Amino acid sequence: MSADEQRARAATPAGGRAEDVRADVAVIGLGTMGSMALWRIARLGEPSVVGVEQYGVAHSHGSFTGESRLFRTAYHEGTRYVPTLLRARELWHELEAESGRRLLLQVGTLSIGHESDTDLGNVLASVREFGLPHEVLRTADLRERYPQHAVGDGAMGVLDVYGGGLRPELSVLSAVEQAQAHGATVLANERVLSVEPGGGSVTVTTDRRVITAGRVVIAEGSWSRRLSSGLASTLVVQPLPLIWFMPHHLDRFVPERFPAFIRDEGGVHFFGAPSFDGYSVKVTPRRFHDPVADVADVPSVIDAERLRAIGVAAQRFLPDLNPEPVHWGVFHDAFTANHVPIVDIAADGAVLTLAGFSGHGFKLAPAIGEIAAEFATDRVSELIADDYAIAAHPRIAEG
């Protein structure tokens, strides 16, 4: 089936009974992890693979939306992730080459904090253990090199040369398109109701058909709790703000002069990216709302008083910003209690669950997709740690 025929099939209007499907592998959810899993499995040529998405391809409802995501290899979250990140970096470039699109803007990522900070300690450990290209900038160096940032005495920075900004929506679309070009079938606007292993296969029931597959990859993101009671007890949905401000001097914030960044100062955390749209800069705090049980409970607004407070704090870090947000949105992701992801192969070997990447999964996604491809061909990736299993995760405290 040609890529054009695949896209026509993906655009089949929702509603009504559709033809049942058989495939060697089914991927449920075509967002961050699912799109990459579909791409990496499809490019093997065999096994046959079908992807199911409850919305359209590269839709606006998922955790991946929001114009840009940071890519980092000098990692705040710990050195354990660096091998996965380095492999992901290779695969990001591979997806760029296949799609003909620039997806990873390697402008560097600047981590600013204090040497005593745990997160910055992890960044320094990452560059030392893996020999990552980087620069260490003391307070005077920071002020001279990156005057856009107002930093206090004793601040230091680490520039991750491999870091930069990813274009998430374009990346998801590119991965799905390349999967289709390699023969994957895509069923869009189709909601999965149940996943039932048994009898040597897995039955996936959607609101339109039954899919029978030898193996299934579940990559439902923030919707993962709905398909599994085990995930319901180990995940919460975390609302996340993304906010853009206009600088008074845009030329200071172009990618060539302003790396992506993460800042921690006095208990305040901000991260951001240079101007990708030609007029605004993403500068956003870590979170603004308590976790919720379901995507349906994610608030749709940030109240004006809180937006003003965020703007004042952002301008304190980056004085050239106009403190009134030019646009903003409330996004979400599924979090585990310890922020360790779930990469779990069920006991029968038929279902791989990818969930709970806790706000730092997009940069890892192509490597996680490769893990799914190994699973699809009866291999277990060496990148899967024991504590990635569902059973190894602490239960989320209720209330």
For 69-100, the pLDDT digits (tens) are 999 999 999 999 999 999 999 999 999 999 99
The confidence score (pLDDT) of residue 16 equals 75
pLDDT mean values, one per 10 residues, the chain (399 residues): 44 69 98 98 97 98 96 97 98 98 97 95 98 98 98 96 98 98 98 95 98 98 89 95 98 97 90 97 92 96 95 97 97 96 96 97 98 97 96 82
The confidence score (pLDDT) of residue 265 equals 84
Distance CA 134, CA 104 (A): 18
The confidence score (pLDDT) of residue 1 equals 43
Nearest to 368 by CA among 350, 348, 388: 388
The confidence score (pLDDT) of residue 15 equals 59
Distance CA 97, CA 274 (A): 24
Nearest to 172 by CA among 330, 59, 85, 28: 59
CA dihedral angle for residue 283, residue 318, residue 103, residue 168, rounded to 10 degrees: 0
